[in-house]
Amino acid sequence: MSESIEDIEIQLLLDAVYRHYHYDFRHYARASIKRRLLQARSQWGYDSISDIQSAVLHDENILPQLLNFLTVQVSEMFRDPSYFRALREKVVPHLRTYPSLKVWVAGCSHGEELYSLAILFAEEGLFERTIFYATDINPAALRAAQAGIYPLDRIQLFTENHRLSGGHSSLSDHYTADYDRAVFSKSLRERTVFSDHSLVTDSAFGEMHLISCRNVLIYFDRELQDRVVGLFGESLVRGGFLGIGSKESLRFSEHADLFAEFVREERIYRRSAQ
């Protein structure tokens, strides 16, 4: 089929956002970007994607809202508990051998993955020797991650996930409950650097021992996935660990040979020695 007008408009909008704001969505998986832009259009009552383009170019206040459509903020603490259990049982014993540790949570969204790791590291006695880097491109998400406040009605799920992950503290030790929100304790983030970092356009910034980047790669096309996997390779110490989402894989990546499968079912990889 020839390219539809909508597809042309989407391409032009993404080009415009990149040229004016340097946010690069041009190699995101197009089908979900399209779905979300059509949602934005109907929610804002515009007739076309071109109207969004015009609005975002002429009014900087639109950009944060557009970012909320272009990036997906869905997460939960200890999401896929078996992943965290595998980190605890299989990766932590290796991490213990290092005197100091760096952990990168790439695409940290509202911080659920970061707090999960911080709690896990505290439970395993590694917290004091670790620096966490939590990065995202969405400034609103980073602010939420820094605040560490979640609606109380999500806590039951988080608690259950935490238990299934093999947690040996009580999740309630780590937050205080308001009438409708749970505020996670400041000490959990005192060793975290929050920063704006794009996996698409920014480079490596340190030698990590563990990178956890779950459900971010699925939003990229294959070419961009390759770039990011290469970036992770550069960012890890030899023998360092990479965990990705439970339905993601390095199988289709050209840098797959930088990594060896470490816990196959949980998509935990290890940076090869060479």
Partner 1 sequence: MTLQAVVIGTSAGGVQALSQVLPRLPADFPAPVLVVVHVPPRLSNSLVDLFAAKCRLPVKEAEDKEPLAPGTIYFAPPDYHVLVEASGTIALSSDEHVNHSRPAIDVLFESAADAFGPELVGIVMTGANSDGAQGLRAVCAAGGQGLVQIPATAEVATMPEAALSACPDARTMALERIVPALEAMIAR
Taking the complex as a whole, the smallest distance from the CB of residue 128 to partner 1 amounts, in Å, to 33
**Binder among 11, 18, 26, 34 for partner 1 (CB under 8 A):** 34
Give which of 80, 79, 140, 141 is closest to 106, Cα–Cα. Answer: 141
Q: Which residues contact 93 (CB under 8 A, 6 or more apart)?
A: none
264 binds, among ligand SAM, partner 1, none (CB under 5 to 8 A by kind): none
Told to check if 145 binds ligand SAM by CB under 6 A, we report no
Told to check if 29 binds partner 1 by CB under 8 A, we report yes
Stretch that binds partner 1, among 13-21, 28-36, 43-51, 260-268 (CB under 8 A): 28-36
Told to check if 56 binds ligand SAM by CB under 6 A, we report no
Query: Which CB atom, from 123 or from 226, has the smaller least distance to partner 1?
Result: 226
Told to check if 123 binds ligand SAM by CB under 6 A, we report no
Q: How far is CA 35 from CA 62, 69, 164, 212, in A?
A: 19, 10, 34, 27
Query: Do 194 and 134 touch, CB atoms closer than 8 A?
Result: yes
Stretch that binds ligand SAM, among 11-19, 130-138, 162-170, 263-271 (CB under 6 A): 130-138
Query: Do 51 and 6 touch, CB atoms closer than 8 A?
Result: no
**Residue burial 186-222, b: 16+ Cβ < 10 Å; e: rest:** eebbeebebeebebbeeeeeeebbbbbbbbbbebbee
**Binder among 19, 20, 238, 247 for partner 1 (CB under 8 A):** 247
Measured in residues, the chain has a length of 274
Q: Give me the residues that bind ligand SAM (CB under 6 A), please.
A: 71-75, 79, 107, 109, 112-113, 136-138, 141, 198-200, 214-216, 219
